[in-house]
Amino acid sequence: MGAYFKRMAIREIITAPDARLKQRSLPVERVDGALRGLMDDMLETMYDAPGIGLAAVQLGEPLRVIVMDLAREGEDPQPRFFVNPEILSVSEELAVYEEGCLSVPEFYEDVARPAECRIRYLDYNGELHEEDCEGLFATCFQHEMDHLEGVLFIDHLSKLKRSMMLKKLTKAKKQQEKEPA
């Protein structure tokens, strides 16, 4: 039984400030069982958090992999997997969304990004797709793409705002270390 039993695991999400979030993720060579295992773990971890998008580097795996689910409350889950994702083009028009990030807990700020983009990626089965996205999908995709380059949404904010947030995050981390779990 054991060998064929699909195991998913909720993993720890790395939070800022942490040097591992600053690294550039590497392209995936092959979409195989091991990679699908990672994608399953990513999805499970994202649902548990809960969040709507997660990049592999947030679990300490610097690979170009993103998972996402933008289903609204009450809708069936719509898990999406993006391997070696690319942004082919973006619109000049910008859209502003209040963004948050599982690696920057409890902070939300408006970020302006291109409102639409054309993307290319491999799916869960390694098949190539090209697609146009807009709205929350476009914003979330660009947010996750940033993670693959070691960039967080707070890097789009003013230096003052960012350093205030990082100070608070560092303080929260120290507090957590003091209190036994």
Binding site for Zn ion (CB under 5 A): 101
* Beta carbon nearer to Zn ion, 40 or 146: 146
Name which of 101 and 148 has its Cβ closer to Zn ion: 101
Nearer to Zn ion, 43 or 101 (CB): 101
**Closest separation between CB of residue 27 and Zn ion, Å?**
20
Position closest to Zn ion via CB: 101
Minimum CB–partner distance for residue 147 and Zn ion (Å): 6
Q: Mark whether 149 is an active-site residue.
A: no
CA 104 – CA 100 distance, rounded (Å): 7
Residue 99 has phi, psi (to 5 degrees) of: -105, 150
Measured distance CA(32)–CA(50) in Å, rounded: 26
Smallest distance from the beta carbon of 133 to Zn ion, in angstroms?
A: 17
Choose the catalytic residue: 144, 149, 177, 179: 144
Which residues are CB-contacts of 99 (< 8 A; sequence separation ≥ 6)? Answer: 108, 109, 110, 111, 139, 143, 153
Shortest distance (Å) from residue 9 CB to Zn ion = 20
Two structure tokens written together for 132: 């146009």
Quickly tell me which residue has 């195991």 as its tokens: 7
Q: How is 63-104 classified by DSSP, letter by letter?
A: BSEEEE--PPTTSPP--EEEEEEEEEEE-SSEEEEEEEETTE
Which residues have a catalytic role annotated? 144
